[in-house]
Structure 1
């Protein structure tokens, strides 16, 4: 047991974070009304519709028929068409912020779902955080080295990362994907995700089973700072200053949609080889595009040199964030 060390990893999201479940909501599975996106419990909805056999039949046809007028009909429109106005249907709501789309808020189609526990609450899986930690260590501590994957000497087997506690559903926001090419204006794309909102906080336990693994986690803040400097030199430094959240220490990029350079092994990736095997239509130009998203720009307070300072999460007026950007602190529990 002397080799076991327990650490508290305290994470704060600086931008929307998306960790997908692999599922999505279609426009037949949610309602936009009164400034919120409502994701009802379909079992409860079906039970209430079952009081009227014609409504049940219409609902089944709506869900199963891929042709005709019902193919593109949204759930709101369908319920209105059968004069069903009950909205006590379980499930949950995500309040609209006005940044979900560059079009009308009721025009969204598919929404990629954030991963949730069996009770329907979002959480950060330990595997996702461990993957982000691996990326940092591979590019700093193990830079250019052969790493013994999978064998008895695999150091990552000695680092065990727990899942976070569940978040309240009010911590979710819906965000659109935006890409930014240096030669063009930021471009909205038809990809929408359910994300943890900026300035969400989680405390996650990390257990190491060897002294060498404990040393890596104890020094993780320094390794993260080194990796972030590499990322700035390779990619982020070309970004217009107003789009970079560059005034924070101990950065980690978490989840999907953060871009190639937040997950790559810099010493091994051959970008020319990547381009050579990429179809012409999607061929990467330069170092690629910046992965951004829009959300509400919240202010927060920090204590610096004994003084309380008021800060903003982003500096640009476009409400564009770097997707998945977070900061952390890590300390060993005594």
Structure 2
């Protein structure tokens, strides 16, 4: 730790135990990337260089025909139909990552959901993603410490957890009736800053498939071969580094390194006792380290991002969540969730090289 007056600056390391997906909202269609079946890697083109190459080699019309055809393997088209060497293609590539078993060129390629990348094309994790996960863990511990009773949430899908009750502690701005304003000015989380991560090397990025497992360890109908898309993820075993700054002129000891680590431990315990214990791991699932962890990113699921269960209590939280699931996903058979004891009734898994990992499990160290 570095102490600078009221600022405490820590090194926060995210230890990725299961594929971690932090998307940038974009995706690549089957015809927008190259899957080289010889080296098992997928490459993403530098569009400007690629189209200049097509013009220089009089391939624009041929490429247009490819885009309108049923053929979907861009690498096969460029190497076999156009006679472009792998060495030439490499000069047109922004980056490439390992495919594992996420793609099958013999049958059908898939849409790829892209990871967050900076202006230079380096994969990274925004600090806001980590701050959000820490916020959820801290709020869960605050809710569990709240001994008041009679909590309730509306049954419509717009109902939100009243986090301002727990975070608006600063009293810096009040309304005309002298009540505390429910805005970021009064949020205690003003005192926490997390930097964007250091770049993640492409050698530590992989493609993974997505599977929905039911409570008995089987896969939801129609998903035994995975959802027809895959994700660009930070691989299991990756370490991602951030700077965590606690401004104690704001926090005044109410949030510390120790309290954050305790909140992570409490989140881990609550998640296991209330949610994951209901699920039998599917065949091929890995055994993750038995250490406190956060769950974040795409695929981490409703439970890792919602505080309905701790706020309402396990029984009422189950009923409320089942109702929300039923309203939002009409064809996913959530009508019996409350009767079956858990909602949502699926857990999201990533598959890489035949092994299944629950998405986004990450250990955290703060030094």
Shorter-chain TM band:
0.7 to 0.9
Asked whether the 8 Å contact 2:12–2:365 carries over to 1, the reply is yes
1:197 is aligned to 235
Report the equivalent of 1:169. Answer: 202
1:236 aligns with 2:276: yes
Q: What is the rounded CA distance, in whole Å, between the counterparts of 1:222 and 1:84 in structure 2?
A: 56
Q: 1:105 to 1:115 in 2, by over 3 A?
A: farther
The separation in 1 between residues aligned to 2:260 and 2:119, in whole angstroms, is 32
Contact 1:126-1:162 within 8 A present in 2 as well: yes
Aligned partners of 1:275 and 1:283 also within 8 Å: no
Mapping for residues 267-286 of structure 1, pairs under 5 Å: 267-268=311-312, 270-284=320-334, 285=337, 286=342
Residues 43 and 205 of structure 1: CA distance in aligned 2, closer, same or farther (over 3 Å): same
Residues 195 and 279 (structure 1 numbering): CA distance in 2 closer, same or farther, change over 3 Å?
Answer: closer
Cα distance, 1:41–1:246 mapped onto 2, change above 3 Å: closer
* Alignment match, 1:160: 193
The 5 A counterparts of 1:254-265 are 254-265=296-307
Deviation string, structure 1 residues 153-187 (Cα, Å, up to 9, x no partner): 20111111100110111111000001110246233
User: Could you tell me how far 1:275 is from its partner in structure 2?
Assistant: 3.4
Worse overlay, 35-44 or 80-89 = 80-89
Where do 1:139-154 residues align within 5 Å? 139-143=140-144, 146-147=165-166, 148=168, 149-154=182-187
Q: Does 2:122 match 1:121?
A: yes
Deviation at 1:283, TM superposition (A): 4.1
Q: 1:167 to 1:105 in 2, by over 3 A?
A: farther
Q: TM-score, normalized by length of structure 1? A: 0.82
Instruction: Indicate if the aligned counterparts of 1:218 and 1:330 stay in contact, CA closer than 8 A.
Output: no
2:366 corresponds to which residue? 330
Q: Measure, in 2, the Cα distance between the counterparts of 1:160 and 1:105.
A: 47
Q: CA deviation at 1:90?
A: 2.8
Cα separation, 2, equivalents of 1:213 and 1:131:
20
The answer to whether the Cα contact below 8 Å between 1:158 and 1:213 also exists between their aligned partners in 2 is no
User: Which residue is equivalent to 2:292?
Assistant: 250
**Residue 262 of structure 1: how far off its partner (Å):** 1.0
Q: TM-score when scaled to structure 2? A: 0.75
Aligned twin of 2:73? 74
Q: CA deviation at 1:214?
A: 6.8
Query: Aligned partners of 1:194, 1:231: CA distance in 2, in Å?
Result: 26
After superposition, the Cα gap between the structure-2 partners of 1:173 and 1:155, relative to the gap in structure 1 and judged at 3 Å, is same
CA distance in 2 between counterparts of 1:166 and 1:241 reads: 33
CA distance in 2, matches of 1:228, 1:214: 21
The one-character-per-residue Cα deviations of 1:207-254 (angstroms, maximum 9, x if unpaired) are 122244673433222111111111111111122368474543220112
Helix, strand or coil for the counterpart of 1:189? coil
**Distance in 2 between residues matched to 1:244 and 1:28, nearest whole Å:** 33
Structure 1 partner of 2:131: 130
**Alignment partner of 1:52 is 2:57:** yes
2:23–2:113 CA contact under 8 A, matched in 1: yes
- Kept in 2, the 8 Å contact 1:32–1:106? The answer is no
Distance in 2, Cα, partners of 1:44 & 1:60: 17
Q: Against the structure 1 CA distance between its residues 322 and 212, is the aligned structure 2 distance closer, same or farther, given a 3 Å change threshold? A: farther
Q: Aligned partners of 2:230 and 2:93: how far apart in 1? A: 23
Paired residues of 2:33 and 2:43 also in contact (CA < 8 A):
yes
Q: Residues 122 and 200 of structure 2 are in contact (CA less than 8 Å); yes or no, is this contact kept in structure 1?
A: yes
